[in-house]
Structure 1
Amino acid sequence: MPRKGMRTIFFKAPSPTRITPPPSPLHHTFSDSLMEENIEVAEFIITKWDTDVASLFSDREEARQYLGSIKKLQKAMQYLVLHHSSSEKLARAQILMQSAMKRLEKEFYQILKSNRAYLDPESVSVSAHSSSRPSASRSSFSDFEEEDFENESRDENDSIPEVERVSLAAMADLRAIAEAMISAGYAKECIKIYKIIRKSIVDEALYHLGVERGLTFQQLQKMEWEVLEVKIKAWLSAVKMAVKTLFYGERILCDQVFSNSAPIRESCFTEISKEGALALFGFPENVAKYKKTPEKMFRVLDLYEAVSDLWPEIESIFSFESTSAVRSTAVNSLIKLGDAVRTMLTDFETAIQKDSSKTTVPEGGVHPLTRYVMNYISFLADYSGILSDIFADWPLTIPSALPESYFGSPDNEETISSPISVRLAWLVLVMLCKLDAKATMYKDVELSYLFLANNLQYVIGKVRHSNLNFLLGDDWVIKHEQKVKQYAANYERIGWSKVLASLPENLTAVISMDQVSDHFRRFNSAFEEAYMKQCSWVVPDARLRDYIRISLARRIAPIYKEFYEKYGVVQPKKGPWVESLVRYTPDDLGNYWSDLFYGSRSSGSVSSSSSRGGRSR
């Protein structure tokens, strides 16, 4: 008796009101004879393999005959259902079909298990690129009936690598078995085996990739950031492999094995991959809800970038309606991560504006706020593409229009225009305004200007040597370099004004010796005072340091040299007073200036012996 649940295609209940007489030998047609022959051939082939422990598909000719007999048996059963539904031959054929399906179930299971290494997602992905070859696209249930299939395949597969060849053959066998079982009404048994084995493979692969299941937001929220950051790094390493290899290969395998049934393809792939994919793409969304501070920005951007870059593959691989939850989870992760980035950048701007530290850099060097903010912004510039997406519909709102002097003329075609460029430029401006306020804390006005020059020069250097240069543009750099020069000029004007004032305004005018002595005394005093005050100040940037020294030399040295040559070396011999007045030669000035702006490196003293041999260095 056929087992319970036998597919209705092979059964037709006899009518209770009609008794079908047994067929008369006189009505035995050619079709009847042909169908009987099909059953007899199928019985011979199927029963032959009932107890054989060898793999049927190890011999493709045997497999071809076996699948061919099943197809002919199925045709015979369909014929008997229509014309001889109560025939004992139908019951005999049904028993044979059950036996054949049990054998195919076993073969299907064995092929999936024994070829696991060749059906891993990476191998399947590679093999998929060969699907355009005739040999790779023909291995269906029907193809196994073609007598020339094996010879044709052998010739065409000679140039295919071993792993790829075995992978293609295994997929072809699985597809042929699946089509045979589905056609015979045994789809449920086939699908169950496939789902169990392949889901275990996907779950194991995700585990080895470090994808955690069941990690709730509450658990994540209790983690220290250092612990969570390790998990983020592991996720970033895993997600590309999971999408581009694991899920992609699994989708291809499903499409290959169940190529003749779209509903079955969808059902199998969904059950195999959905749970793992939801765990994978749910993680970034949970991270986006974690306590937000500016320091976490870059890991959040890494997560956003990873999901965003993989979105085309995610959308393609999980295109089924039943996997829409996976797509939605990925999209929600992007939305939440984007919200977190906007919040953190707003908090970062607020933190700059609220910085209330009263400490100053004693030597007028680069302020810690400048270093922190510019390092942060230069790192942000590396994510300009992602940030442009995140802030595309989030315009910058500020109390007033940005200063034209900061961005350039609105009519200038090279004016900063991209949303993220404007936003980063605004952050720089907020910081520079804060530095303006810090500069006023210095008692020496000239040191305030040196402080501003140093810090703006640091900003420019960060811009030049990062992606900020492309975002802010050359015009921005040029305008701010001019500001540095203005600050430097103000420093020189105020810091060395007494030195300049000590020299005669008109060197061509004749002056008395008393006036000469007075100019030398005033110069010595003013120079030593300026030097002693400024010898501990710093200019960290070598280019700016050289620029200020050269500028000082051009401003003071020519005037002093002319005065020195006219009065310092042609004095009448009137004793040691000349040496006490003329303490510095023009070359001495250059020696002293060359020691400026190194901070604590300078000695802080002026040698009175400089006129006799220059400063000891």
Structure 2
Amino acid sequence: MEKKPSENSDKDEENNAGETSHHHASSEPGNPDDEAIAEHDDHAQADSVTEGETTDVVPTVTPTPAKLSADVDSWIHTMLHQRNADITEIPDCVDKFLDLFEENIVSYDAVEGRPKWGEVPEQDSSFLESASRIRQLSQVLSQSQCSSQQINERKDSLVNRIGVMRQGAMSYLEEVFRMLLEKYRNQNKGEIESDGHHDLKVEQDNSALSDSEHSDFPGFSEVTITSLNKIAKEMILSGYESECCQVFIISRRNAFEERLNKLGFEKISIDEIQKLTWESLEDEIPTWIKTFKECARNYFPGELKLVESVFKEHPSIGDGLYCNLTRGVVIQLLNFAEGVAMTKRSVEKLFKFLDMCETLGVVISGLKLVLTEERGGELMAETASARNRLGEAAISILSDLENSIKAEAGKAVPGGAVHPLTRYLMNYLPLACEYKDTLDLVFKEHTKIQGDSTSGGCHQHHQENDHGDDCKEESPFAEQMMRVMELLDASLEGKAKLYKDVSLGCIFMMNNGRYILQKIKGSSVIYQLLGNTWCRKKSSDLRAQHKNYQRESWGKILRCLNPEGLTVNGKLHKPYLKERFKSFNAMFDELLKTQSSWIVYDEQLQSELRVSVAGLVIPAYRAFMGRFSQNLTPGRQTEKYIKYQPEDIENYIDNLFSGNPQFMSKRKLV
């Protein structure tokens, strides 16, 4: 009497269905498990004998799951090697195997409404092998002809039944696939949601992610990876590729969104970016930089390893999924860069733009490691395009800076002090020079935009190097810097002419020139860009201005101390001498009155000016007095015309250029 497989046989199937080969040891005679199962089935059948039946009926031995599997595999093997042969018989083992597998599907799906995958790994393997087996059965039955109408009808019935079973099996595997992919996210979801101050924990979170997530796979154990691989393989072979891919891409996309949020980056549209103030946007840029670098260095390589392992047997499918996933993340981050590049240009934005350019350079290098030209060329091109747009914005800012220098028409600075434009530029430019490599790349990429102005060869100030050799090609940014410095010099020269007192214009040029030179020498990067030749020329210009100041301020007063013209017919003419002393006193008073408010901030320059003026005036005055003072009548006449002693002049000169007119107003009046 034929009967349905018992629960015990179902257990046997779960424990042994992984043995697919018809050469499997469990199907050999004398297998202890088979004998035990058979003995159990005999007792079960004996217990089920109804009244009126004789006890000498020979019991029917139910085949073990392993035996059924082996028999089905044998028949499949035979039919696949006889492709043109008609089906003359469909063995009963096929029906019995389908009965067992059908019960298996129901038992897996019936546990609390969720899959029970992973509870017994051997049963999981058996389930996958059985799913593979019914797939092969469907292939054999669908592609073969039948020798009779009766067999054909049975075949059609089996094909329909297998189709329903495969759908149930694939539905279950799809759910298991989703469960395994979501397992990591569910384990970490509480931590992510409770982190209300993610911006204060970014560095700590990054460290934790680097230590755990990225060491092998993004949060998955090797056992889970193996299961994902087997399920994906079976679903794809069974024609459920789209379902498998959809589950994978949705799960991993959600996982990426959570990781980006945990790093503090929130999705924001280009239109929303345009509405933000620069202060708000500036606060978001460091988070964007950190997030993009984390993706390029860790997340993308980890995801690639995951995809390659799960879809190991189907690399083209894995490539497509990886490109899809990576593109979604990269485009989201690139939209932020595009939005920033579209904001209104201003000089204070330059450094943030350059920071983002450098980040995109890191990202492009990272993408080249995980994306081939075939599967990621377009994405890398879009990333490079975003960097170019930020580069264009940076170039536009530098161009605007040049124009602002040309258009700057400020008033003359009181006291010949350092001009605000000089201070601003000489604090701004060294910072820009820290981005030399990035700016060189930006300028080279936009040579056509800049035209010949950025590729015209050696600059006029660099026609010779320190050894007098022929010029060598300068970096594009170095040439840009030379233009800015030339514009600044031209602007300062124009402002120096605004002073009515030429000597004060010289003080102004010395103040600004010394400030520029000190800033350049204080920054190794800008010093290397401009070079020794430029710095020596600037020092030479300072010396020339110094001489101009001496000539314009003290040249006339020195002429008063010239003995020429004081004698008539070989004799000293006292009225002329008195006039000389009187003129000297008046000029010196005027110089003290005028220059007491002038200021030189640089102590070295201030000292150099005082020493040079004292060295010019005091020896000449001392010699003039020593030669002619005795020609004046001692007493009232001497006090009237000799207003200053050499020591007094030296004292007053030592207090010039300190911006202290009060000291000069307290000097003795005669």
Normalising by structure 1, we get a TM-score of 0.74
CA contact (8 A) 1:199 1:271 kept: no
Measured against aligned partners, the alpha-carbon deviations of 1:501-554 in whole angstroms (never above 9, x if no partner) come to 232459xx9996957766554443332221211110111222211221222222
State the partner residue of 1:378: 430
CA distance in 1 between partners of 2:330 and 2:485 (Å): 41
State the partner residue of 2:651: 591
State the partner residue of 2:409: 356
Residues 1:247 and 1:486: Cα distance change in structure 2 (over 3 Å): same
Residues 1:354 and 1:99: Cα distance change in structure 2 (over 3 Å): closer
Question: Within 5 A, what are the aligned runs for 1:86-165?
Answer: 100-116=169-185
CA contact (8 A) 1:127 1:168 kept: no
Measured against aligned partners, the alpha-carbon deviations of 1:558-590 in whole angstroms (never above 9, x if no partner) come to 33344556777x999944654555554444333
State the partner residue of 2:20: none
Q: State the shift of 1:599 in Å.
A: 2.0
Question: Within 5 A, what are the aligned runs for 1:596-615?
Answer: 596-600=656-660, 602-605=662-665, 607-608=667-668
Determine which of 480, 495, 505 is the counterpart of 2:538. 480
Q: State the shift of 1:315 in Å.
A: 4.3
Measured against aligned partners, the alpha-carbon deviations of 1:263-308 in whole angstroms (never above 9, x if no partner) come to 3213323443433422321332333333334444333333323223
CA contact (8 A) 1:178 1:190 kept: yes
Residues 1:478 and 1:47: Cα distance change in structure 2 (over 3 Å): same
State the partner residue of 1:545: 606
1:187 aligns with 2:241: yes
CA distance in 2 between partners of 1:79 and 1:115 (Å): 39
State the partner residue of 2:334: 281
Measured against aligned partners, the alpha-carbon deviations of 1:458-492 in whole angstroms (never above 9, x if no partner) come to 22222222332121112211110110111011101
Question: Within 5 A, what are the aligned runs for 1:333-348?
Answer: 333-348=386-401
Measured against aligned partners, the alpha-carbon deviations of 1:345-371 in whole angstroms (never above 9, x if no partner) come to 3332222223333x1112111122222
CA contact (8 A) 1:545 1:597 kept: yes
State the partner residue of 1:389: 441
CA distance in 2 between partners of 1:222 and 1:182 (Å): 47
CA contact (8 A) 1:119 1:167 kept: no
CA contact (8 A) 2:273 2:336 kept: no
Residues 1:580 and 1:435: Cα distance change in structure 2 (over 3 Å): same
Residues 1:248 and 1:99: Cα distance change in structure 2 (over 3 Å): same
State the partner residue of 1:155: none
CA distance in 2 between partners of 1:238 and 1:130 (Å): 18
State the partner residue of 2:12: none
CA contact (8 A) 2:600 2:657 kept: yes
CA contact (8 A) 1:305 1:386 kept: yes
CA contact (8 A) 1:301 1:386 kept: yes
Measured against aligned partners, the alpha-carbon deviations of 1:73-96 in whole angstroms (never above 9, x if no partner) come to 656666676779856887777666
Q: State the shift of 1:446 in Å.
A: 0.7
Q: What amino acid does structure 2 have at the position aligned with 1:109?
A: R
What SS does the corresponding residue of 1:259 show, helix, strand or coil? coil
State the partner residue of 1:144: none
RMSD of the alignment, in Å? 4.4
CA contact (8 A) 2:296 2:366 kept: yes
Determine which of 548, 561, 584 is the counterpart of 1:490. 548
CA distance in 2 between partners of 1:282 and 1:113 (Å): 28
State the partner residue of 1:428: 485
CA distance in 1 between partners of 2:548 and 2:612 (Å): 12
CA contact (8 A) 2:337 2:356 kept: yes
Measured against aligned partners, the alpha-carbon deviations of 1:310-369 in whole angstroms (never above 9, x if no partner) come to 222234445475765533432322232233333333332222223333x11121111222
CA contact (8 A) 2:108 2:116 kept: no
CA contact (8 A) 1:127 1:167 kept: no
Q: What amino acid does structure 1 have at the position aligned with 2:363?
A: L
CA contact (8 A) 2:560 2:584 kept: yes
CA distance in 1 between partners of 2:163 and 2:469 (Å): 85
Residues 1:279 and 1:601: Cα distance change in structure 2 (over 3 Å): farther
Structure 2 runs not aligned, ≥5 long: 1-75, 80-84, 147-153, 190-204
Structure 1 runs not aligned, ≥5 long: 1-8, 13-17, 137-162, 611-617
Residue identity over aligned pairs, in percent, reads 27
Residues 1:462 and 1:96: Cα distance change in structure 2 (over 3 Å): same
CA distance in 2 between partners of 1:526 and 1:387 (Å): 54
* Bigger Rg, which one: 2
1:449 aligns with 2:477: no
CA distance in 2 between partners of 1:213 and 1:90 (Å): 49
State the partner residue of 1:241: 294
Measured against aligned partners, the alpha-carbon deviations of 1:412-455 in whole angstroms (never above 9, x if no partner) come to 35667222211211111112112212211111111111111111
Q: What amino acid does structure 1 have at the position aligned with 2:453?
A: T
CA distance in 2 between partners of 1:444 and 1:366 (Å): 17
CA distance in 1 between partners of 2:443 and 2:562 (Å): 61
Normalising by structure 2, we get a TM-score of 0.69
CA contact (8 A) 2:464 2:471 kept: no
Residues 1:229 and 1:221: Cα distance change in structure 2 (over 3 Å): same
Residues 1:442 and 1:578: Cα distance change in structure 2 (over 3 Å): same
Residues 1:117 and 1:396: Cα distance change in structure 2 (over 3 Å): farther
Q: What amino acid does structure 2 have at the position aligned with 1:372?
A: Y
- Count of aligned pairs: 550
What SS does the corresponding residue of 1:527 show, helix, strand or coil? helix
Q: What amino acid does structure 1 have at the position aligned with 2:614?
A: A
